[in-house]
Each structure stands twice: as C-alpha cells, then as structure tokens.
Structure 1
Amino acid sequence: MKQKIATFLDSISNDIFNISKYLYDNPEASFKEFKACRYLTNILKKNNFQVTEKLLNIPTAFSAKYGEGHPKICYICEYDTIEDEGHITGHNLISSMSVAAAISLSKVMDKFQGTVIVLGCPGEFVGSSKITMKKQGIFDDIDAVLMAHPDIVTAESGSSMALLPLKINYKSPASLSYRKLINYSSLDACLFTFNSLNLLSKGLNNTSIDGVIAKGGSSPYLMPTEAEAKFYIRGTKMCYVENIEKRLREFIKNISNLMEIQSEISIYELPYEELITNSTLSRLFSHNLKESGIIDIKDPKDTYSGLSIGTISHCVPCIHPYISIVESPSIKYSSGEFAMATISNYAHDKVIKTAQALAITALDLIEGEHLLQEMKSELYKNTNKNFIINKKD
C-alpha cells in the first residue's frame, strides 16, 4: 500500500506542482481566495471527493471527503496571502502537500474503512476560519489532523503561543488643543497605557504584550477625541493569557477613572490556544518523513507566533511540523525570495516527499487501532492536565 501511494504521487507530480504554481501566480488576500478555492475543489472533485463548498456560509471555505466511517483523517489547506506580499509564508505549498496526500491516500482506501477529509481553511492571516469551524463542531468527529508548514528548516512539530487580540478604544470630548491644555485627551490615555504596559510587561512570566496605536487623532490643532490601541497578549498557555487579560481590563478601568476618559475594551480577532503537539502522531510522521527521503529533521520547533491549529489541538490530535523548502541559507522566511523558492524544483521535491509521509502516516493510523488509542489517550491526558491548571489559576 505504501509503495502504491509513492507510485501514484510520482504519476501526478506535475499536477501537484501546478497547484503550487497556480496559487503562487494568483495570490489572494484573506477570505478573498476565490480562485484558489475553485482550483482546489475542482481537483478534488475530479478525484471523486464529495465536496461541500461555502462551508458554514464562508464563501472560500470547503470540505472534501472520500470514504466512510472511522477513522477520519483530516488534512488542512491554507491558501491566503498577506495583501500585496504574495506567498511569502508558503501557504501555496500547504495546499499542494495536503491535497497530494489526501488524493494519494484515497487511491488505497478501497481496502480499508475510513474517511479522508480535506478542509479548505481561508483567512489564516486575519483570525482564521479554523476557529469558527471548531466552534461550529466541524472537528468534533475527526480522529486526527495533519498538516505541514514550509520553512527554512525541517523540524518536528513543537508548540506555539496562546494568543488573545485585545482592542482598547479611548474617547474624550472634542476641543481645540490650545484651549484644553489642562485636560487629558484620548491620546494621552492611550500613550500612558503603552508606557505603563511597556514597564509592567518586563515583570511578566510566560506572557508578553505587543501593541500598536491604530488611531490617535487627525490634526495637532484639535485634541484627539478618539484613540485606539490594539494588543496581542501572548503566553505559553491560554490560562496565563486570560489571567493577564483580567488584570489588563482592571488596569484600563483605573486609567479611565483617573484621567476621566471613556474606555471600551473588546476582542477584535478570534483568540488562539497554544499548540499541543500529539507526540504519537509526531513520532509516526517523523519516521515516515525519513522513510520518504527527508532525513535531517531538527528537534521540535516552538514558535512565538499564534497558530490557529493550536485551538484545534485541544480537541483533536494534531501535528504542525516544518519542512525546509530552500537550498540557500541566505533565504529568509516570509520574504520575497522565500515566496519564489516555493515554485522551485527543490521545493517541489520536498512537497512530494512530505505528501507521501503525510499519506503514509494516515495509513498507519487506519491500519493500527492501537496507534489510534495511544494517540487519543495522550490527547485526553494533555487536555485534562490543562483543565486542572486552568482551575488552579
């Protein structure tokens, strides 16, 4: 079966490269990925997947299924870009790897019971549809979620930061600046918040606060009537982040009272929980990646970024390993050169080998009931432990 997967991938190699190239040539911003969505779903339909378009009424989201029953193995497609930047983070390759893995696995599914699922998840850069899908129960019946991310190093799946986006809006009365020198403006409150948090954040453990002033007045002649600040609270666990959020809300309330400025606090994007890598799944994938020809695999990579798959990993066993797609060490991640590297022959070779490992890992789970149980027991142990930490805090 594993050889059949490898042989089939070799036979569709050009089609897989065309996915990477098409998405590269047609970059689309978050939740506007109409061409990408249509291209990917057409390929899956041609390979006899049952496709649901506009999943959860999200125009560029989709679900594609092949087979029936459990285990249900899910691959993730991401395909948005940062507007005007192109595929500097390689989302085009995430889609090509996942689709290649899913289709090749489907070609041996007639021998087994199980379901291959591909989820098209738009909007990764602005809150991610995966979080909405999780809230709406899309992942409730899935046994494992697999995806791999292009990078400048090949590394095992590690952890990510929990992330909570918080917006603070200050409002003050309108006036001419030269007539109101003794009164505080909304911008005064905003600047005081930044200066105070910059000092206070130095004493935080396991968390950090990053912010930007999004709005702060239009003319020096007028006192700013409204100032807006946006923050990312990051932490190694969501319980730490939520604790800082509570303290920050109280802090803002005190500033508002002290300076007699109105304030409003809101969450402006969906929060991400920290990634819990399933070590059973990671072990299987790393073994299969070596068997597929990618030998040099670094230790688990932890990222300062928030990852939407982190939230999913609290209800389904997940992995998010990294695959080097660059030959030159001078190429930096999230650069124009990195985007160009995604359509190189070197990157394409990595895509095929990674897709093979992703497909064979799923096959291992389908054939091995004991692996499924080990994976699920680990998930229960990890999430139950986190629950105890949350109660304690």
Structure 2
Amino acid sequence: MPRTLADVHTTLRAEVARRADELWDVALRLHADPEYAFAEHRAAALLTGALERDGFAVEREVAGMPTAFTARSGEGRPTVALLLEYDALPGLGHACGHNLIAAAGLGAALAVRTVLGTTPGSVLAVGTPAEEGGGGKALETEAGVFDDVDAALMFHPGVHDWARAPLTAQVQYRVGFHGRAAHPTGSPTEGVDALAALIELFNVLHAVGRRLPQASHVQGIITHGGTATNIVPEYAEGRFGLRAATTRELEDLVGRLRTCAEGVARATGTRAETVQATVRYEHFRDSRPLSERFAGHLAHAGITLTPPVPGINLGSSDVGNVSSRVPAIHPFVAVMDADGSDHTPEFARAAASDRARTVLTAATQALACTAADVLLDPDLRTTAWARHREPAAGR
C-alpha cells in the first residue's frame, strides 16, 4: 500500500485510468440496453459479475428487490458505500445518465479494493434499482442496508457542475371521492357528484398553492372521472404529486392535502379517501466535509464544482433517504451545457458522448479518492458524523 494519503490518491487515479476503457464499455453497454424500475436484470448481472470477478462477496435480491444487490470487500468498520444506479426512463433510455453512475460506482469500488485491499474496513458497492420510480434506496434504507455504513458516495451527471444537490422531498397520493350515481336528468337531486368534488379539490389546492413555501407545490391529474356522461359519477379519483424543500415541510403539505380533501367532502356530501401511492423520497442532506473532499479531488481533472444556484431545485431522489441515515454526497458533474436538461433525448445522447467519457473517468477517480479518505482519515469520519448529527442537517 502507498505510504501517505497523497500517494494513495495518486495510485487510485492511476488505477482508474488503467480501467478507463473497461468502465466506458460498461457505461455503453448499459446505455445500449436500457431497463426500467425493478426490472434491471441484465444491468444487475453485468455489474455483479464484474464485482465478483474482482473478489467482492455479492449478495443479490437485497431488501426483497430482485435487481438490488450489495458487494462487499473487507470486513467491519469503517465502511464506505458506493451507490450504483442503473435504471432508465421509459421511452427515453438513459436520459438521466444512470449508466454513468453505475460505471463510476463500479470503477471506484474496484480501484479502492485493488489499492487498499489489506486496509481495515470495508468497501460496499450497493446496487440501487428504480430511482426513477419505486425508490430502491428508500427500501434499502428501511431494510438496514446502510445501518453500519460510515459514508455513502455517488455522483450524478447533469448540466451543472455543482458540489451538492438541491434535491427536494416528494411523495404521491391518491385522493378518491365516493358519491352516489343517478341519472343527471331523470333524478338529478338523487345524485352525489364525486367528480364535482374532485374538481373542487383542484380549485382549493390551486388557492392553497399561492401561499406555500418556496419549493413546495402540488401537481395533480384526474385518473378516474366517471363512466358515462348520462350517469352522475359515483366515484372519482386524482393522483397528486407533492414536493417540498424539506421532509418536514412535505409532511405539512400532506396534512394540508388531507385537510382540503376532507373539507371538500363535507361541503359536497361525498366521502374522501386519501392514500399514499408511492415511496416517500426525503430531501437530500449534503455532507459538506465529504462533498468538499470530492470537489477537491475532481479539481485534479480540471473540473471546478461550485455551490448550486439559490432558488433552483433539481427534482427529488431516493438518495435523500440514505442521507437521512449516514453522511452522503450527490454532486452534479456536467455532461452537457447548462442550456440543456436531463430527461430529454438530447441528454440521453450526451450520456454516451466523448464528454461523458471524460467525466466518467474524472468522477470515478474523485469517488475513489474520497472513499479512501473515509477509510483512512478518522478525523474526516468524525467531522462528517458530527455535521450529520447537527439539528439543521435533519431539518
């Protein structure tokens, strides 16, 4: 093993560079064969196969998910987790660049094991399915996958070079109204119009939306509005996506949704039923000590990360749930210019571009070096955990 931490970093960067063609091949294979939430069987097989060949002990079907896995090298604490996402977007493929996330996490895990194989502690590669819808990391967090982890590391390709991710909390709810069917002309007073109640809920939520905190909003669609125009709808249902800057504010927003639905039900003579429809994604809590280390390592490749632009939020991710349990990072590194956007065909092409290849190598090196810092620098671990436990970090 190299004698100093600086020597370790130099050796890790060289090891990643040695594997660059191999990692790019993995990224391209994933890109050419997109799979979707909880069905990423070929992706999981590709990644676990590479990890097993390098001596990692692989556990499949983690947390009851057929395409989730963990792969461990070493034993005991400290433990650093590298997160691999590999699901794609229906109709768009890898338009969020998860092929690069998987290849980077894989490469960092392999490099750290090669360079620090006899170092006390563990390297844990965590296969996390269904980030785009389903919440694999949230389910793994609840199953205890991260209970004995000291830090969780990943990067995300994007259109900005940002040291941390302004990711909001989000969840979806179904709201159904139960009324009473009748003929709208023959017996109009006998009907209780469930659809009218649902439409009124949209109106109420629109008014409420004008008074919500920044980054909080409710977006809804009608999923069932009746069966025929000559029948007063006895049942109507909407699906509502709720987002907020923090998990606590999201809980408040869910309470408002329930209050509004019950109020509309009382006013219209219907019965409201409000049911959570998805796994809740918590807001992301950045570990500044770790994200600063990552940014410093990435600067060796000539990429400078800056703080995110205030007031801009970039959606939500189940990595927020991981960050509620352990210090975590989720920096963005641009693979296309800032006038672009992910979740587009253009971004899918960018995720297999020459620029993406350069970013993949640089981000993998920075992840590997940051992982080594976690394993070898007890002061960093202490600082990261101290910041993580501060009340403001858990908002």
CA contact (8 A) 1:274 1:310 kept: yes
Q: How large is the RMSD of aligned CA atoms in angstroms?
A: 1.7
- The worse-fitting range, judged by mean Cα deviation, of 271-280 and 246-255 is 246-255
Q: Which amino acid aligns with 1:132?
A: L
Q: Deviation digits for residues 141-191 of structure 1, max 9, x if unmatched?
A: 100000100101211113321223221011222333333544441111110
Aligned residues between the structures: 384
Q: Which amino acid aligns with 1:99?
A: L
Aligned to 1:45: 52
Q: Tell me by how many angstroms 1:331 deviates.
A: 3.9
Q: Tell me by how many angstroms 1:80 deviates.
A: 1.1
Q: Which amino acid aligns with 1:7?
A: A
**1:125, 1:149 → 2: CA distance?**
13
Instruction: Label 1:69 to 1:125 Cα distance change in 2 as closer, same or farther (>3 A).
Output: same
Q: Tell me by how many angstroms 1:123 deviates.
A: 1.1
Q: Tell me by how many angstroms 1:67 deviates.
A: 1.2
Q: Which amino acid aligns with 1:318?
A: A
Contiguous gaps of at least 5 residues in structure 1? 387-393
Contiguous gaps of at least 5 residues in structure 2? 1-7
**1:247, 1:290 → 2: CA distance?**
45
Q: TM-score, normalised by structure 1?
A: 0.93
Q: Tell me by how many angstroms 1:233 deviates.
A: 2.2
CA contact (8 A) 1:274 1:306 kept: yes
Indicate the SS of the match to 1:300.
coil
**2:22, 2:285 → 1: CA distance?**
33
Q: Which amino acid aligns with 2:335?
A: I
Instruction: Label 1:385 to 1:19 Cα distance change in 2 as closer, same or farther (>3 A).
Output: closer
Aligned residue among 14, 38, 58 for 1:31? 38
**1:187, 1:350 → 2: CA distance?**
50
Indicate the SS of the match to 1:266.
strand
Q: Confirm or deny that 1:212 pairs with 2:212.
A: no
Q: Confirm or deny that 1:202 pairs with 2:207.
A: no
Aligned to 1:272: 281
Aligned to 1:69: 76
Instruction: Label 1:46 to 1:180 Cα distance change in 2 as closer, same or farther (>3 A).
Output: farther
Instruction: Label 1:382 to 1:287 Cα distance change in 2 as closer, same or farther (>3 A).
Output: farther
- The worse-fitting range, judged by mean Cα deviation, of 217-226 and 42-51 is 217-226
**1:198, 1:240 → 2: CA distance?**
18
**1:82, 1:261 → 2: CA distance?**
38
Q: Percent identity?
A: 26
Q: Deviation digits for residues 304-360 of structure 1, max 9, x if unmatched?
A: 41221112111100111001112x555432211111111112211110110000000
Q: Confirm or deny that 1:240 pairs with 2:243.
A: no
- The worse-fitting range, judged by mean Cα deviation, of 353-362 and 234-243 is 234-243
Aligned residue among 169, 180, 188 for 1:162? 169
CA contact (8 A) 2:159 2:339 kept: no
**1:94, 1:110 → 2: CA distance?**
23
Q: TM-score, normalised by structure 2?
A: 0.92
Aligned to 1:310: 320
Q: Confirm or deny that 1:250 pairs with 2:259.
A: yes
- The worse-fitting range, judged by mean Cα deviation, of 118-127 and 237-246 is 237-246
**2:79, 2:209 → 1: CA distance?**
43
Aligned residue among 95, 99, 104 for 1:97? 104
**1:289, 1:155 → 2: CA distance?**
11
Instruction: Label 1:84 to 1:193 Cα distance change in 2 as closer, same or farther (>3 A).
Output: same
Q: Which amino acid aligns with 1:194?
A: F
